[in-house]
Structure 1
Amino acid sequence: MLMYRSLSRRAAAATVAATAALVLAACGGGGSDDEAQSLSPKPPASASAEAGTHNAQDIAFAQGMIPHHRQAIEMSEMASGHASSPKVRHLAERIKKAQGPEINTMSGWLTAWGEDVPRGMPGMNGTGRDWDHSVPPGMPGMMGRKDVEKLKKFSGQDFDAMFLTMMIEHHKGAVKMATTEKAKGKYGPAKKLADDIGTSQSAEITEMNKLLGNG
């Protein structure tokens, strides 16, 4: 008798378990979307908030520094065929190597933020690389067409002196822009880049002044 009762209880328990499983399956069919969403891996909060951590100053910094860097690279490219001093040529190469990747970085930020990436300024021989057209007003350190065309006509020591003089002013403008970004920007990587630009270009200003014999 005891064995019969034990078997009956086990059978009843199995029936209850099976019924419960059917009920849960039926409920799951109606809420599969919610359940799938709850089981899907969610991105970290920091990742979803990353795009919103910038402000208008960060955008202005990137959109201004990109053409500013492009002009520095263009001027530096002249040095290989016009400069007489190996130190000037080496400096120009360092400027190109440093600022090219920075342009790519800032372009990536603007794209991620859904903002316009400045294109090469049109005008010079159709190359799309002329910095003299539509230079943003008030951008510190940017050179005008007459100055750039004049630089192209120089060579040897005359080129070295003019290149250094112009690049010092250009760097001073970049340092000023970087200082503004550090003070008013919000996006951490942009503020870090601004700090790097300020440090490296301030050091290059000192170096160029020494090459000019000014210190």
Structure 2
Amino acid sequence: MTSVARLPRSLVWAGAVVFVVAVGLVLLMVVRPSAASPTGSGASAGAPSESSADVGFARDMSVHHQQAVEMAFVVRDRTEDEDVRRLAYDIINTQANQRGMMLGWLESWGRPKSSERPPMEWMGHPVTASDGSLMPGMATDTQLDGLRAASGRDAEVRFLRLMTVHHRAGADMARAAAGSAATDEIRDLAAGMARAQESEISLMADMLEARGARP
């Protein structure tokens, strides 16, 4: 083997410099946490506050989206209608992706993904639903059971009606976040979400009409 003594002095110095820099970077990471790492309080430096619209919206809309995805999966397996199945796939893909983004932001902010705070408190009017739903627009357990038990046109109509109500409340929440959130991430996502859900509400109204049903 070639000994270090036989290596050109420039290579020896280069290796030494690389080693020192690497050790320095490791020590810097240990001694000085990055801005994205949680601080002693559990929240990341510069993260939106616990009571902010950003954190509240990300939490609440994640729950809202989770149920929308669940209902879309249910109707997908209970109808052969291509239009309804296509809408269900769109909701599954879009809202599951958005939910992942919001949970990721909560993680990066060092904020818990759930809270004992009342839903929609960040909007200035916390809610306690009396019909068994978690938030406005969300289906109750009884309504979900009815959807699971239905098939064909009955399942399609139930789904379209439930999702119309779900989207209306979701669009209201999204507009509120778009106007009051402090981060560009939440403002941009919420604004796009409101537009998309309003468009789907119009689409679902046409689909219900085609089935001789009202929203």
TM-score range, shorter chain: 0.5 to 0.7
| 1:27-59 CA distance string (max 9 Å, x none) | xxxxxxxxx99xx9xxxxx989x9526351110
C-alpha separation between the residues in 2 aligned to 1:169 and 1:148? Answer: 13
- 1:84 Cα shift? 3.6
**Which one of 187, 201, 207 corresponds to residue 211 of structure 1?**
207
| 1:186-211 CA distance string (max 9 Å, x none) | 11110100011101111000000000
* 1:104 aligns to 2:100 (yes or no): yes
User: Normalising to structure 2: TM-score of the pair?
Assistant: 0.66
- Paired position in structure 1 for 2:78: 82
Query: Could you tell me whether the CA contact under 8 Å between 2:47 and 2:109 is conserved in 1?
Result: no
- Paired position in structure 1 for 2:110: 114
- Paired position in structure 2 for 1:60: 56
- Paired position in structure 2 for 1:201: 197
* 1:191 aligns to 2:184 (yes or no): no
- Paired position in structure 1 for 2:9: none
C-alpha separation between the residues in 1 aligned to 2:86 and 2:71? Answer: 13
- Paired position in structure 2 for 1:144: 140
More helix by share: 1
C-alpha separation between the residues in 1 aligned to 2:141 and 2:164? Answer: 17
Partner amino acid for 2:46? G
Partner amino acid for 2:109? W
- 1:87 Cα shift? 0.4
User: Structure 2, unaligned stretches of length 5 or more?
Assistant: 1-23, 29-34, 38-43, 116-131
The 3-state SS of whatever aligns with 2:77 is helix
4+ runs deviating over 4 angstroms: none
C-alpha separation between the residues in 2 aligned to 1:184 and 1:51? Answer: 21
Partner amino acid for 1:90? R
Query: Could you tell me whether the CA contact under 8 Å between 1:84 and 1:155 is conserved in 2?
Result: no
- Paired position in structure 2 for 1:10: none
- Paired position in structure 2 for 1:92: 88
Query: Could you tell me whether the CA contact under 8 Å between 1:54 and 1:185 is conserved in 2?
Result: no
C-alpha separation between the residues in 2 aligned to 1:51 and 1:108? Answer: 16
User: Normalising to structure 1: TM-score of the pair?
Assistant: 0.66
Partner amino acid for 1:68? H
| 1:69-115 CA distance string (max 9 Å, x none) | 00000000012221242101100000001011111110111011111
RMSD: 2.9
Rg larger in 1 or in 2?
1
- 1:118 Cα shift? 3.8
**Percent sequence identity over matched residues?**
31
